[in-house]
């Protein structure tokens, strides 16, 4: 090998590398912070805990219920005996309160850590509708999806911060068990084969959440004394909206927090 | 290299010469006994024009890749209402001149080799290599200019095609640069052995093709609808 | 062995052809005005192919049997071919194949080279993973615009209509069944919300891919025959691979008399 | 370029050491075997997938044993999910088309026998040859690795139409990493195929021995040569399509993804005005020639075997070569017949239809010439011959159904039904595989120095021949009935009466699948225990039968042959024997 040639070649190549290095765009990749350490629950003095209860009312004209068309899957039509079915997001209780509102402690409980309960939260598919429509799970708690329908569903949560998955569940198949690793309000869940089907899953770090039922009330128990921001989330009328309230709880105190929503335009 | 000698038929010779029908190289006239390359691993040398043929075929494949990109561009531009032409960096024209110059220097190098001027051959080869690298560097600078303007790969179909075509061409040219580096390293042996010159010719073929391809791409990217 | 080959090939040929001749399996009923010509073209092709099929397979069977090596020391016929024979079958094949194609030209032209008849009933078909939805323009004959951000499957706004603001959207009727009147030209405008789908109604002799980013019109007229079978209800299936629910992606076509259709449409309108 | 300077010190000697000899070998014969065994492995994976599919189709509630071990997500408890079915289908198609049909007859047999048949000591570029194999293997491993990614293997079909294949995991399982791996695998495969093709072309054109005029090439060589040209031009286009698809997936470009898509309630705002049809055009510009890439080598092998065992020259050698060329050329003009219902211009559809009918003509010529070859012959019904006769029968059956699909007004009702599945499986799948079996039985003695067992071979042939008709013929009837393909379960009432037909087909699929074990046993048993083969057990004429079995490292042991005759001089009147070898200087007055 000719040394002079080698030298010249090395020079040329390093020049090229230098040029390339100069023109390289600077890139910074964000590494999402991930905590993998096992959760050690913070001890809470059960003798001092209080609770937050309340009611969510609906203000204004009721949204016109949207009838759901299930024609393409006769199994779904049959499950309802041919009766019309309406979208759950349009539901308002007879007493003017709102069902399906997810109320949870948004902030104030950061100093505590909680272990996820070992019991799964069950989401059923019944008559090509999700039951319940709105539900909460804790981070790393198992969500167990079962089906009571004689037709195939697919369960497709569409999270922003969590891992997306999409799985079919033919009739008779085993329940699907999945966990969410990060808190997220709210993860919409869809069945693509019955596009009207929708559930909302709230993933929270603490056990302080509740969903309003047919009386529009909620109650969050076991709160240690402190100041909290309580948020209510609803998708009434189809568009999600939230409201926050701050509440301070003394030892063994029970406070009432009420919310009132209008249908989002 | 005994095996290169044609073994005569052992039985009786063919009565008519045309029953052999000449050699098999119907398309090349002088096939079997043509240039001798280096021995293939199996022993017999691969005729040099096989290398040329191989290069033609490689170029045909490359041509098809770019033909596919071209038709994609033409169709995509034709159907879309989202096509916003990307103003090309002026640097590209300088790069073009550099690349054309590299073809010229490669030709000079080749002539020097034919004339037996080994030193000039190597020098012009260096010049070609430097110009080739300068072209690549220039292309990267042109990309930087676009990025500075906020034009990225996914900004617009026209910019997508710009990055696609320039990088596809650039990668192929880098292959050519690899070839040039190889020639530089072997410059001495090439000068001393006339048989080695085919390598230079094949490298030049590739290089000029890349040159022509670039001109074509530049026209494709600049001509509006 | 030669006899076995000849017998098996013959048997396969006869069974294959026999099932077609006996029409054990055949197209479902034809409910469109254009279907008869297509079925006829199919039949014509079947006959021509059938003849070639039988001739070639039986020829093969016969040759294998007839020219088997019987061990009698006979030498094979030394022949490099027969130019005349080859030219003959080349030309014959070309005429038959290409001629057949031109016979089908008119059918294709009628379906695709002309648009729908003026006054045809316009219906939009929207495909999505994994359902079809249909939109009728309502009395004003106009489809309201689609607003992507308004699309919400959970409340049934598949087309992204803004009924509060868009005049044309107010009377649009969205359904999950494709109801059509009999004997009236229908123009479907196919579009997709997400991936490729396809619209296939076997009885209508109609199949068309639905390509996102395109609106593809197809047109047809359902005949009286449609009312006679299955209560006028036919399956619309998706035939383009569209994801995990592909096999379940379907809807129903309901062919009705003109009066029934009007009534049905009113019921649908009331449910909006 | 890398080939232009292969410095090998002791060139004439065969490499020593296991690795150089069998793994990173430059010997075209070893590479040919490597390709063959790669295809053999792939065909069994593909076959297994199809058996799982047939199982699920007729017993949708069945819990398939061990399947949950392979994929706990795709088949929880062994119950196959619809998405897993589609994944199996996608992988079956991809593996069979690329790694079996494109690999074995062309790269496998072609690599082994093209150089020997033209009287060359190796391919023109041995290093490139080795590279192309390793790239192909990398492609296969990449593809198979998608079975083990978290959201499952890709399910967009072997055609991978966008937007489904382009918008990522939002469009469903398998469309995340699995689809990325699929695209990368295909791109790699293209590179391997291109390298192989240019090597084949250069070898055929440049390395023919003295006297081996183009018109003296065996039809196998012609087929490999034309296939290489078709492959060179078409794989380049697939490569481009793959690059564009990958950019749409990961680079956020919009070549194929249109604006305003809402997938699973999510507005895809990062794409604008791309065209899914553009992808289809690029894909089928490759995809249709690909069909011929799969079948042309099979035609060559079949012609070769038919002539040999009919003891008769091939009927119309020139017509055979010209029709190969015509098919090769026309294959680039017919891709639109896959797109009659795709939404492309109906006028174009008609033009494509005419070209498609035209390509039927050279195919018909070939069929007639095969029959003409049998006519007046003295047929030796060896297993290889039986498979070749089977090839002709299957090619006729599958080819004729193409005449239906080539006509747009007929295709409308058959498109995307089982009619199409039956058509292409017969004409390109099974027929090509029959050619591979024929080639295996014919060339096994040369490749391994031993004979395969004829009795096992014949049992295998009969089960397979009857079986494939029992599987694929009924598909035509189902298609006419309107049975749509790519459905994992038949849920509609419409399909219930047809289910017994599916059961019939499935059971035959299991039988045929099982029968392949006979072949595998025969192959490996014969490799070690088979009867020793002589130089020319079939009394064949082409050059590979002039050298020992298996051939020495440089094929001819330094004695390069000279060719005096065409490849099919069987039954020559006045000749000493029943045949004249290509390199025999014997002159016969009436020859030609």
- Determine the angle formed by the axes of helices D383-405 and D346-374, rounding to 10 degrees: 150
Q: Which A residues, 167 through 206, put their C-beta within 8 Å of a C-beta on chain C?
A: 168, 190, 192-198
Residue A23 forms contact with B (CB below 8 Å): yes
pLDDT cut 70: percent of chain C above it: 100
Contacts of D360 in chain C (CB under 8 A): 93, 97
Q: Find the mean pLDDT for residues D397-412.
A: 94
Q: Find the mean pLDDT for residues A79-105.
A: 90
Q: Nearest-CA residue of chain B relative to A3?
A: B185
Domains and CATH numbers, chain C: 2-68+84-111 (no CATH), 117-270 (2.60.40.420)
Can you tell me the distance from the alpha carbon of D277 to that of C112, in angstroms, rounded to the nearest whole number? 18
Residues D295-309: tens digit of each pLDDT: 999 999 999 999 999
Chains that touch A (3 or more CB pairs under 8 A): B, C, D
DSSP string spanning D519-530?
A: HHHHHHHHHHHS
Contacts of C133 in chain A (CB under 8 A): 69
B25 pLDDT tier (thresholds 50, 70, 90): very low
pLDDT at D303: 97
pLDDT at B186: 87
Q: Does B80 or C194 have the greater pLDDT score?
A: C194
Peptide bond into A189 cis (omega under 30): no
Buried b (16+ CB within 10 A) or exposed e, D380-410: bbbbbbbbbbbbbbbbbbbbbbbbbbbbbbb
Helix (H) or strand (E) holding D292: helix D276-310
- Please determine, for residue C156, whether its predicted confidence score (pLDDT) is greater than 90: no
Residues D528-540: tens digit of each pLDDT: 999 999 999 999 9
CA angle C255, C257, C260 (to 5 degrees): 95
Residues B163-208: tens digit of each pLDDT: 999 999 999 999 999 999 999 888 888 888 777 788 899 999 999 9
Q: Give residue limits of the domains in chain D.
A: 28-260+268-274, 540-592
Q: Give residue limits of the domains in chain B.
A: 46-222
Spatial CA neighbour of D103 closest among D169, D168, D162, D31: D31
Residue A1 forms contact with D (CB below 8 Å): no
**Which stretch of C42-56, C108-122, D30-44 has the lowest confidence by average pLDDT?**
C108-122
Residue B185 forms contact with A (CB below 8 Å): yes
- Please determine, for residue A33, whether its predicted confidence score (pLDDT) is greater than 60: no
**Which stretch of C52-56, D92-96, D341-345, D453-457 has the lowest confidence by average pLDDT?**
D341-345
Using DSSP's 3-state secondary structure scheme, residue A250 falls into: coil
Q: Find the mean pLDDT for residues D17-31.
A: 85
Can you tell me the distance from the alpha carbon of C199 to that of C222, in angstroms, rounded to the nearest whole number? 16
Residues D415-425: tens digit of each pLDDT: 999 999 999 99
Q: Residues C34, C205: contact at Cβ < 8 Å?
A: yes
Contacts of A83 in chain C (CB under 8 A): none
Q: Nearest-CA residue of chain D relative to A160?
A: D266
Q: Does D163 or B24 have the greater pLDDT score?
A: D163
Spatial CA neighbour of C11 closest among C49, C55, C61, C64: C61
Residues C85-101: tens digit of each pLDDT: 889 988 998 999 889 88
User: A167 to chain D, minimum CA–CA distance in Å?
Assistant: 7
Q: Which of D173, D409, D480 has its CB closest to that of C104? A: D409
Residue C270 forms contact with A (CB below 8 Å): no
Q: Does D551 or A30 have the greater pLDDT score?
A: D551
pLDDT at D9: 34
Tokens 């921001």 belong to which residue?
A229
A37 pLDDT tier (thresholds 50, 70, 90): low
Q: Which of A2, A5, A12 has its CB closest to that of B130? A: A12
pLDDT at D65: 87
| Interface touch C37/D409, C-beta < 8 Å | yes
Q: Which C residues, 156 through 175, put their C-beta within 8 Å of a C-beta on chain D?
A: none
User: B143 to chain D, minimum CA–CA distance in Å?
Assistant: 16
- Please determine, for residue A263, whether its predicted confidence score (pLDDT) is greater than 80: no
Residues A210-233: tens digit of each pLDDT: 999 989 999 999 999 999 999 999
CATH class label, A46-107+216-265: mainly beta
Buried b (16+ CB within 10 A) or exposed e, B12-48: eebeeeeebbebbbeebeebbebbebbbbbbbbbbbb
- Please determine, for residue D523, whether its predicted confidence score (pLDDT) is greater than 80: yes
C160 pLDDT tier (thresholds 50, 70, 90): very high
Asked if the interface predicted TM-score (ipTM) of this complex is over 0.95, the answer is no
Residue D487 forms contact with A (CB below 8 Å): no
User: What architecture is the A115-205 domain classified under in CATH?
Assistant: Sandwich (2.60)
| Interface touch B137/A2, C-beta < 8 Å | no
Can you tell me the distance from the alpha carbon of D109 to that of D132, in angstroms, rounded to the nearest whole number? 15
Q: Find the mean pLDDT for residues C229-233.
A: 93
Contacts of D486 in chain C (CB under 8 A): 239, 241, 246-247
Q: Which B residues, 2 through 31, put their C-beta within 8 Å of a C-beta on chain D?
A: 2-3, 6-9, 11-16, 19-28, 31
Compute the count of residue pairs across chains A and C with CB atoms less than 8 Å apart. Answer: 70
Residues A144-202: tens digit of each pLDDT: 999 999 999 999 999 999 998 999 999 888 899 999 999 999 999 999 999 999 999 99
Q: Does B160 or D492 have the greater pLDDT score?
A: B160
Task: Read off the tokens for B210.
Answer: 């890349």
Using DSSP's 3-state secondary structure scheme, residue D383 falls into: helix
CATH class label, D28-260+268-274: mainly alpha
pLDDT at B3: 35
D502 pLDDT tier (thresholds 50, 70, 90): very high
Q: Find the mean pLDDT for residues C240-266.
A: 94
B211 pLDDT tier (thresholds 50, 70, 90): very high
Residues D260-298: tens digit of each pLDDT: 899 988 999 888 889 999 999 999 999 999 999 999 999
Fold for domain B46-222? 1.20.120
Using DSSP's 3-state secondary structure scheme, residue D54 falls into: helix
Identical fold, A46-107+216-265 and A115-205: yes
Contacts of C271 in chain A (CB under 8 A): 67, 69, 84
- Please determine, for residue D574, whether its predicted confidence score (pLDDT) is greater than 90: no
Q: Give residue limits of the domains in chain A.
A: 46-107+216-265, 115-205
Residue A173 forms contact with B (CB below 8 Å): no
- Please determine, for residue A29, whether its predicted confidence score (pLDDT) is greater than 80: no
Contacts of B159 (CB under 8 A, 6+ apart): B86, B146, B151, B152, B153
- Average pLDDT score over chain D: 92
Peptide bond into C130 cis (omega under 30): yes
């Amino acid at each position: 090998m000719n040394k002079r040639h080698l030298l010249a070649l090395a020079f040329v190549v390093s020049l090229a590398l230098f040029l390339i290095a100069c023109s390289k765009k600077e890139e910074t990749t964000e590494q999402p912070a991930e905590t993998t350490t096992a959760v050690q629950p913070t001890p809470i003095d059960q003798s001092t805990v209080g609770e937050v209860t309340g009611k969510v009312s609906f203000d204004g004209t009721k949204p016109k219920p949207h009838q759901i068309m299930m024609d393409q899957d006769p199994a779904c039509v049959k499950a309802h005996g041919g009766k019309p079915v309406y979208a759950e997001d349009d539901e308002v209780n007879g007493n003017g309160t709102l069902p399906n509102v997810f109320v949870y402690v948004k902030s104030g409980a950061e100093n505590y850590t909680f272990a996820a309960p070992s019991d799964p939260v069950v989401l059923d598919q019944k008559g090509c509708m999700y039951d319940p429509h709105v539900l909460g799970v804790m981070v790393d708690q198992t969500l167990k999806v079962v089906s009571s329908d004689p037709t195939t569903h697919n369960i497709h949560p569409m999270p922003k911060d969590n891992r997306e998955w999409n799985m079919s569940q033919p009739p008779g198949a085993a329940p699907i068990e999945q966990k969410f690793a990060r808190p997220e309000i709210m993860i919409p869940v869809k069945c693509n084969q019955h596009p009207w089907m929708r559930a909302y899953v709230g993933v929270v770090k603490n056990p302080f959440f509740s969903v309003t039922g047919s009386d529009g009330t909620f109650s969050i128990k076991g709160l240690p004394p402190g100041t909290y921001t309580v948020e209510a989330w609803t998708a009434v009328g189809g568009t999600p909206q939230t409201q926050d309230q701050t509440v301070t709880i003394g030892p063994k105190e029970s406070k009432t927090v009420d919310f009132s929503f209008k249908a989002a335009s | 290299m005994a095996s290169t000698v044609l073994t005569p038929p052992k039985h009786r010779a063919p009565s008519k010469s045309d029953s052999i029908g000449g050699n098999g190289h119907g398309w090349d006239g002088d096939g079997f006994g043509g240039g001798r390359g280096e021995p293939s691993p199996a022993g017999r040398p691969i005729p040099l024009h096989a290398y040329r043929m191989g290069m033609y075929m490689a170029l045909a494949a490359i041509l098809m890749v770019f033909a596919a990109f071209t038709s994609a561009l033409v169709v995509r531009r034709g159907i879309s209402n989202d096509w916003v032409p990307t103003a090309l960096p002026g640097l590209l024209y300088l790069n073009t001149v550099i690349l054309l110059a590299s073809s010229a220097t490669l030709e000079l190098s080749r002539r020097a080799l034919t004339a037996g001027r080994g030193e000039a051959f190597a020098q012009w080869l260096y010049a070609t290599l430097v110009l080739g690298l300068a072209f690549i560097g220039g292309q990267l600078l042109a990309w930087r200019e676009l990025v500075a303007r906020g034009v990225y790969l996914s900004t617009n179909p026209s910019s997508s095609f710009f990055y696609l075509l320039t990088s596809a061409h650039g990668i192929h040219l880098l292959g050519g640069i690899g070839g040039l580096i190889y020639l530089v390293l072997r410059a001495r042996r090439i000068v001393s052995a006339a048989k080695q010159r085919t390598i230079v010719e094949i490298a030049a073929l590739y290089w000029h093709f890349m040159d022509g391809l670039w001109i074509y791409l530049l026209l494709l990217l600049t001509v509006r609808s | 062995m030669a006899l076995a080959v000849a017998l098996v090939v013959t048997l396969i040929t006869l069974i294959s052809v026999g099932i077609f001749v006996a029409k054990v399996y055949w197209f479902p009923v034809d409910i469109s005005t254009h279907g008869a010509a297509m079925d006829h073209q199919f039949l014509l092709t079947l006959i021509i192919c059938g003849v070639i099929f039988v001739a070639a397979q039986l020829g093969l069977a016969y040759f294998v049997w007839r020219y088997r090596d019987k061990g009698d020391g006979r030498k094979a016929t030394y022949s490099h071919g027969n130019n005349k024979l080859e030219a003959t079958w080349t030309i014959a094949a070309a005429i038959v194949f290409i001629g057949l194609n031109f016979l089908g030209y008119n059918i294709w032209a009628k379906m695709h080279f002309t648009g729908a008849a003026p006054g045809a009933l316009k219906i939009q078909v929207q495909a999505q993973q994994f359902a079809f939805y249909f939109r009728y323009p309502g009395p004003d004959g106009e489809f309201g615009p689609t607003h992507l951000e308004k699309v919400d499957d959970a409340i049934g706004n598949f087309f992204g209509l803004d009924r509060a603001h868009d005049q044309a959207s107010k009377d649009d009727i969205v359904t999950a069944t494709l109801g059509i009147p009999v004997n009236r030209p229908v123009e479907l405008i196919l579009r997709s919300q997400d991936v490729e789908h396809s619209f296939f109604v076997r009885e209508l002799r109609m199949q068309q891919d639905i390509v996102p980013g395109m609106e593809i019109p197809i047109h047809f007229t359902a005949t009286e025959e449609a009312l006679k079978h299955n209560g006028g209800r036919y399956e619309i299936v998706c035939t383009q691979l569209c994801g995990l629910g592909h096999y379940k992606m379907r809807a129903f076509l309901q062919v009705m008399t003109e009066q029934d259709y009007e009534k049905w449409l009113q019921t649908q309108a009331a449910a909006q | 370029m890398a080939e232009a300077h292969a410095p090998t010190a002791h060139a004439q000697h065969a490499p020593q050491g296991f690795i150089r000899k069998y793994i990173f070998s430059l010997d075209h014969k070893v590479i040919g075997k490597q390709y063959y065994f790669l295809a053999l492995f792939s065909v069994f994976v593909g076959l297994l997938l199809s058996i799982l599919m047939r199982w699920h189709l007729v017993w949708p509630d069945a819990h398939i044993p061990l399947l949950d071990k392979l994929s706990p997500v795709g088949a929880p408890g062994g119950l196959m999910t619809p998405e897993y079915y589609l994944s199996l289908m996608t992988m079956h198609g991809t593996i069979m088309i690329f790694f079996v049909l494109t690999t074995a007859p062309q790269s496998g047999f072609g690599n082994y026998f093209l150089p020997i048949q033209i009287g060359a000591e190796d391919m023109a570029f041995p290093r490139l040859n080795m590279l192309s194999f390793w790239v192909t293997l990398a492609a296969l491993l990449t593809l198979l690795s998608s079975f083990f990614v978290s959201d499952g293997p890709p399910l967009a079909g072997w055609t991978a139409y966008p937007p489904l294949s382009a918008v990522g995991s939002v469009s469903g399982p398998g469309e995340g990493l699995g689809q990325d791996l699929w695209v990368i695998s295909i791109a790699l495969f293209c590179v391997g195929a291109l390298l192989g093709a240019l090597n084949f072309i250069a070898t055929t054109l440049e390395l023919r021995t003295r006297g081996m005029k183009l018109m003296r090439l065996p039809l196998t060589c012609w087929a490999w040569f034309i296939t290489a040209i078709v492959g060179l031009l078409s794989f380049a286009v697939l490569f481009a399509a793959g690059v564009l698809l990958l950019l749409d997936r990961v680079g956020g470009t919009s070549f194929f993804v249109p604006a305003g898509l809402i997938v699973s309630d999510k507005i895809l705002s990062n794409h604008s005005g791309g065209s899914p049809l553009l992808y289809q055009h690029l894909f089928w510009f490759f995809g249709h020639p690909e069909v011929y890439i799969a079948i042309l080598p099979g035609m060559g092998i079949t012609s070769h075997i038919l002539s040999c065992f009919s003891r008769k020259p091939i009927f119309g050698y020139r017509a055979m070569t010209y029709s190969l060329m015509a098919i090769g050329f026309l294959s680039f003009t017919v891709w639109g017949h896959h797109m009659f219902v795709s939404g492309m211009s109906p006028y174009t559809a008609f033009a494509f239809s005419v070209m498609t009918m035209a390509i039927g003509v050279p195919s018909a010529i070939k069929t007639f010439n095969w029959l003409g070859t049998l006519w007046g012959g003295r047929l030796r019904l060896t297993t290889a011959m039986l498979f070749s006769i089977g090839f002709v029968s299957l090619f006729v059956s599958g080819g004729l159904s193409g005449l239906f699909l080539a006509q747009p007004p007929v295709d409308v009702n058959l498109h995307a039904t089982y009619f199409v599945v039956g058509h292409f499986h017969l004409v390109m799948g099974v027929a090509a595989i029959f050619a591979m079996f024929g080639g295996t039985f014919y060339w096994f003695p040369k490749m391994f120095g031993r004979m395969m067992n004829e009795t096992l071979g014949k049992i295998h042939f009969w089960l397979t021949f009857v079986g494939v008709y029992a599987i694929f013929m009924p598909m035509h009837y189902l298609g006419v009935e309107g049975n749509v393909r790519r459905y994992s379960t038949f849920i509609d009432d419409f399909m219930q009466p047809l289910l017994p037909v599916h059961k019939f087909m499935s059971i035959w699929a299991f039988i045929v699948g099982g029968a392949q074990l006979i072949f595998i046993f025969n192959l490996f048993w014969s490799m070690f225990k088979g009867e020793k083969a002589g130089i020319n057990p079939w009394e064949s004429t082409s050059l590979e039968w002039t050298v020992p079995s298996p051939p020495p490292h440089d094929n001819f042991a330094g004695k390069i042959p000279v060719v005096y005759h065409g490849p099919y001089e069987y039954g020559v009147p006045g000749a000493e024997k029943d045949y004249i070898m290509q390199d025999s200087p014997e002159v016969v007055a009436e020859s030609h």
